[in-house]
Amino acid sequence: MFLVLLAFIASATSSSGFPRIISIFMMVVGLMLEFQKGSGLEGISQGILLILPLLCLVTLSPLLSVPLKLEGYFEAVNALLRNLIHYPRKLFAGITTSLFILSPILSLGSVRVINEFLSALKLPSAITAKSYLVGFSTAIMWSPYFGSVSLVLYYLGMPVGQYILYGIGLSLLSLIVGNFLFFIWERKHPLLKKEIPEAVLETQHRSQLIKLTMFVSILISSSLIIEHLTKWSMIVIVCVISIIQPLVWAIIKNNGWKRLYPQWITFKDVSVPIMNNEIMLFTSAGLLGHAIQDTSIANNLSYLLINIAEKSIFLFAFSVMTIILVVTFIGIHQIAVITALAMQLSPTELGISTLSLAMLLLLSWAVSSALSPFSGLNLMVSRLSGLSGVQVGLRANGLHLLILSIIGIGIFMLVA
């Protein structure tokens, strides 16, 4: 607990702006609630230890990208996107599919990588906002290497193997809807970039793209197999793989250690400091979510949602999504409200399956991350596209998120 608090303080002193303000606010409120409940230091310790696995996951997962950089996979993705510059619909599909593959491993770093490739192309802001949000938000709903999936399933006590196919299915539907809506949008807003030369997608690049897809598939499959055999938490498995995988790469490759060392220095000096906001937000939001549990507000809300679920499963799903969207839209991180709901709500009392509750919470997480102008995803896409957070979420992607929500609630009702 002491080390986590030190990490929070160190991150807070190195950060600025709204993330710093909201993190300190959530931390103070969480501490006050724990003392008000009478749990004191013991409650604070439990809240921080509950979020500790996610902090480990967020901090260590960037190590997974080391072999991708050293093997030249990013250059192959760059060649693919430049090859599609004269075909807007194919380009949009290429961006969203690349993010679908890269985001589980690189997290928000995948958006930075793709944007570096596309910065010289000077795409319209609307295309940037649409493609980045559509592609990245899919990982929030399915990837075990993503904090959202690992955290929700961790608190609900559900193995990732029992959920992942449903999550992938919902994510693929989101990709299809997003690309279909872009198809319609592009007919009215043609993209002409004839002055930019089309890159040649060489055989070597095609081979690298296939290897990249296989790499991600093997990574996910191995995690699921280990979970099935050991019954360990997926968060633990991902952290262990994040450490071991670069070491294995260094052993089997020529001059592996020599090539790995600069990447390790970059991870230590660049990648970890970049995550100051995430460390602050996750720590404070996790503590706040634990502190809210068993308060009068949480108990009354839980009682209300149980009564709603008894009358209508649809109204229950709509109410949960509305609560999460409202709370996150005013700046409270998804972890705080969704952690509180995951720990407070019992699928048995609600009369639904654990799978359906997990799907609903992760759908709400993805939609709120795209809509909230204070979420890390929305803030980054807003900065890269030059649009405001509201324009990125509501104007550019509102229809897509609405249709995704309707589809998601429909699937929730089927599996409930």
- pLDDT for the residue 327: 92
Q: What are the start-end ranges of the E strands in 29-161?
A: none
* Whole-angstrom distance, CA of residue 184 vs CA of residue 290: 44
* Whole-angstrom distance, CA of residue 213 vs CA of residue 76: 12
* Whole-angstrom distance, CA of residue 332 vs CA of residue 365: 12
The answer to whether residue 158 scores a pLDDT higher than 80 is: yes
* Whole-angstrom distance, CA of residue 114 vs CA of residue 243: 25
| Residue 184 per-residue DSSP state | H
Q: Name the band, by pLDDT with cuts 50, 70 and 90, for residue 105.
A: confident
Residue-wise pLDDT tens digits, 206-231 = 898 898 889 889 988 999 999 999 98
* Whole-angstrom distance, CA of residue 26 vs CA of residue 241: 32
* Whole-angstrom distance, CA of residue 102 vs CA of residue 335: 23
* Whole-angstrom distance, CA of residue 304 vs CA of residue 319: 10
The answer to whether residue 122 scores a pLDDT higher than 80 is: no
Residue-wise pLDDT tens digits, 76-98 = 888 888 888 788 889 999 999 99
How many percent of the chain have pLDDT more than 90? 44
User: Residues near 162 by Cβ (< 8 Å), separated by ≥ 6?
Assistant: 355
Angular region, 263: left φ>0, alpha ψ -120 to 50, beta rest: alpha
Stretch 299-309: mean pLDDT, rounded? 92
Q: 183: how many CB neighbours lie within 10 A of its CB?
A: 13
What does the chain come to in residues?
Answer: 416
Residue 232's alpha-carbon distances to 28, 50, 222, 224, 303, in angstroms, are 33, 16, 13, 10, 32
Q: Name the band, by pLDDT with cuts 50, 70 and 90, for residue 193.
A: low
- pLDDT for the residue 318: 96
Q: Name the band, by pLDDT with cuts 50, 70 and 90, for residue 406.
A: very high
Burial 318-338 (b: 16+ CB within 10 A, else e): ebbbebbbebbbebbbbbbbb
Q: Please name the residue that has the structure tokens 């509102």.
A: 398
- In terms of pTM, does the model score above 0.75? yes
- pLDDT for the residue 272: 84
- pLDDT for the residue 324: 95
| CA diameter of the chain | 67
Q: 346: how many CB neighbours lie within 10 A of its CB?
A: 14
